[in-house]
Amino acid sequence: MTPRFRRRPSPALVISILALALAVSGGATAIAVSDFAQDKRIAKRISTRVFEKAIQGPLPSGATLRGRFAVAGHRVKGPPAGDLVDESAVSFQIPLATKPSLHAIGVNGTPTAACPGSSSDPKAAPGNLCLYESSSKGNNGITVVNLGRVGFSMFATHVPADTDYELEGSWAVKAP
């Protein structure tokens, strides 16, 4: 067995490898040197308080929530289905302080002062819920029921018997 003599790396090589590792890792180096367990506890405590306060509501004044809606189906007239179309429910992510005023803008409809947006960029003036239709087939609009602080239900209206229908779009609600 022959002894092997290995050279130790030079200080310049060690420093250059360390510099390369720090450059490649970027901001991750700061996390590696911090007290990760303590940081995690603090972040969890702060985020939990913020989340709990936000989710309980009400939505802060001037804040806007946005979302999408869709309802589709086939209307069948007569037994056993009756004269019904499917209903779809939408829940606001954060409850409102008061029930908003409702406005519906049809496909390619003109924006109003209460609803200055569009289906691709939904907006609402304070205290308003704006529904923007982006697609409508086999129906003649939206009927909204059960509008309240936490959401609403909707269905397509004026759907002829034995007809496929689709209705979709976006919504925005802004706290007063």
Please report, for the domain that includes residue 149, its CATH number: 2.60.40
The DSSP symbol for 94 reads: S
pLDDT per residue over 33-80, tens digit each?
455 666 667 666 666 665 666 667 788 999 999 999 999 888 877 656
Q: Is residue 27 one of the residues assigned to a domain?
A: yes
Q: Is residue 6 one of the residues assigned to a domain?
A: no
Pairing assessment for the beta strands 163-174 and 128-137 based on DSSP bridges: antiparallel
pLDDT at 31 over 50: no
pLDDT value of residue 73: 85
Higher pLDDT, 141 or 132: 132
Higher pLDDT, 121 or 56: 121
Q: How confident is the model at residue 29 (pLDDT cuts 50, 70, 90)?
A: very low
> Which tokens sit at 53?
């306060």
Judge if 36 and 76 occupy the same domain: no
User: Cα(90)–Cα(154) distance, rounded to whole angstroms?
Assistant: 8
Least confident of 33-47, 84-98, 134-148, 159-173: 33-47
Judge if 164 and 85 occupy the same domain: yes
Judge if 49 and 88 occupy the same domain: no
Task: Count Cβ atoms within 10 A of the Cβ of residue 169 and give its class: 0-12 exposed, 13-18 middle, 19 or more buried.
Answer: buried
Judge if 71 and 38 occupy the same domain: no
Range of the domain at 106: 64-174
Judge if 44 and 87 occupy the same domain: no
Q: Is residue 50 one of the residues assigned to a domain?
A: yes
Q: How confident is the model at residue 139 (pLDDT cuts 50, 70, 90)?
A: confident
> Which tokens sit at 71?
């309802």
The candidate with the shortest Cα–Cα distance to 111, out of 127, 126, 131, is: 131
Q: Is residue 4 one of the residues assigned to a domain?
A: no
Contacts of 35 (CB under 8 A, 6+ apart): none
**Domain count within the chain:** 2
pLDDT per residue over 93-120, tens digit each?
899 999 999 999 999 999 999 999 999 9
Q: DSSP for 100-167, please give it.
A: PEEEEE-TTPPP-SS----SSS----TTEEEEEEEEEESS--EEEES--SSEEEEEE-SPPTTEEEEE
Judge if 34 and 79 occupy the same domain: no
- Phi/psi at 92 (nearest 5 deg)? -75, 140
User: Cα(23)–Cα(4) distance, rounded to whole angstroms?
Assistant: 34
Judge if 76 and 114 occupy the same domain: yes
Judge if 80 and 163 occupy the same domain: yes
Q: Please compute, for residue 91, the number of CA atoms within 13 A of its CA located in the half-sphere on the CB side.
A: 3
Q: Is residue 124 one of the residues assigned to a domain?
A: yes
Judge if 30 and 109 occupy the same domain: no
CA distances from 2 to 5, 7, 11 (A): 9, 16, 28
Q: Is residue 3 one of the residues assigned to a domain?
A: no
pLDDT at 32 over 80: no
Q: Is residue 52 one of the residues assigned to a domain?
A: yes
User: Cα(100)–Cα(154) distance, rounded to whole angstroms?
Assistant: 15
Q: Is residue 72 one of the residues assigned to a domain?
A: yes
